């Protein structure tokens, strides 16, 4: 139980730190990256707002499990879409790998979250 809790908090914290850095990354590089992938600027802003909501839902322990489930779904869709977008524009694997790594971290966090929920019941 203790190791599951540690794994949960480490993976969830990494995901939330990445999401928070992505939210506040309005640099020239981030805008160029969105343009490269064919993503309009307004969609990037919507995704940033969604990431902010998702990280709040994941990081606050008092949030109901059902809302955390939806945050996991949202992040999962985000990482899968990022992977597909990089592949679609012909980016090399090293550009695509970060989305895959964060999707795997998300799966580990999700699995450990459910183990912790089962232990509470």
Q: 118: which 2 tokens?
A: 């089962």
Rounded Cα gap, residues 80 and 82, in angstroms: 5
CA 29 to the chain's CA centroid: 20
Per-residue pLDDT of the chain (121 residues; tens, 9 = 90+): 899 999 999 999 999 888 887 766 655 556 666 777 788 877 877 888 888 899 999 999 999 999 999 999 999 999 999 899 889 988 888 888 988 999 999 999 999 999 999 988 7
Residues 6+ apart with CB under 8 A from 20: 51, 52, 55
Q: Where are the domains of the chain?
A: 2-120
Confirm if 49 and 109 have CB atoms less than 8 A apart: no
Region of residue 78 (phi > 0: left; psi between -120 and 50: alpha; otherwise: beta): alpha
Confirm if 109 and 11 have CB atoms less than 8 A apart: yes
Collapsing DSSP states into helix, strand and coil, what is residue 18? Answer: helix
Report pTM: 0.86
Give the pLDDT of residue 25.
66
Give the pLDDT of residue 37.
77
């Amino acid at each position: 139980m203790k190791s599951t809790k540690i794994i949960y908090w480490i993976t969830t914290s990494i995901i939330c730190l990445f999401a928070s850095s992505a939210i506040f990354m309005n640099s020239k590089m981030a805008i160029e990256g969105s343009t490269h992938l064919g993503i309009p600027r307004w969609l990037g802003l919507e995704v940033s707002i969604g990431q902010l909501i998702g990280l709040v839902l994941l990081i606050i322990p008092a949030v109901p499990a059902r809302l955390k489930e939806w945050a996991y779904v949202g992040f999962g869709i985000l990482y899968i879409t990022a992977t597909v977008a990089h592949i679609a524009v012909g980016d090399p694997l090293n550009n695509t790998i970060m989305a895959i790594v964060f999707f795997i971290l998300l799966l580990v966090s999700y699995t450990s979250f459910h183990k912790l929920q089962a232990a509470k019941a």
